[in-house]
Amino acid sequence: MGNKSLNWENKDTISGIIMLLCGLGYGIMVLKIPGTKSQLFDSRFVPSLISVLILIVGILQTGRGLIAPKEKIEKKEFDKKTVICTFALIALYILFYSSAGFIITTFLFLFLEMNILTPGYVKKNQIVYLVISLFFSVGIYYLFYFGFSIFLPGGLLDTFL
């Protein structure tokens, strides 16, 4: 017999626990849906069914992960810093999209993100990045304004546009 202890670090276990949390979260929110007393198949039916099924699936998955033998996990090359920076930049870009406006946020996003992603061996040409950022932020804005009559958020530049 192999090891009897439960494997909590296994990816399957972790994903299983995430599933359970999702199922629970969804299930709790389902309780807020007003139900219809006389009917089984009302607006609560499908969401309730889904939350129950997610919980079942979560149990299966967690179980599967827990009984898996402990394996040595190889650490893959993973540049945490870049991922977090990229994610943060995208989040800021999107959250300020409307208030600061499309042109400003797009310009900043493009310029900064290109800088963040450039691999070490490449010499960063800031002029190129600047030109590209400016071209696309202003270009797309006016393309959609004049070409498609879709008005991207002007934000802080609203008074000038």
Residues 26-85 that bind other proteins (CB under 8 A): 26, 29, 33-34, 36-43, 46-47, 50-51, 53-54, 57-58, 60-61, 64, 67-69, 77-79, 82-83, 85
Distance CA 81, CA 47 (A): 38
Comparison of 74 and 79: residue with beta carbon closer to other proteins = 79
Q: Cα torsion at 112, 116, 117, 121 (round to 10°)? A: 120
Among residues 94, 126, 131, 142, which is the contact residue for other proteins, using CB under 8 A?
94
Give CA–CA dist 96/94, Å, rounded.
Answer: 6
Nearer to other proteins, 8 or 83 (CB): 83
Q: Binding pattern to other proteins, positions 110-139, x when CB under 8 A?
A: x--xx-xxxxxxx---------x---xx--
Residue 5 in the binding site for other proteins (CB under 8 A): no
For residue 77, the minimal CB distance to other proteins (Å) is 6
CB-based contact 44:33 (threshold 8 Å): yes
* Distance of alpha carbon 131 from alpha carbon 54, whole angstroms: 49
* Beta carbons of 16 and 59 less than 8 angstroms apart: yes
CA 119 to chain centre: 23
Q: Of the candidates 6, 7, 22, 156, which one interacts with other proteins according to CB under 8 A?
A: 22
Give Cα 51 distance to the centre of its chain: 22
For other proteins, which is the closer residue by CB, 26 or 156? 26
CB of 5 to other proteins, least distance (A): 13
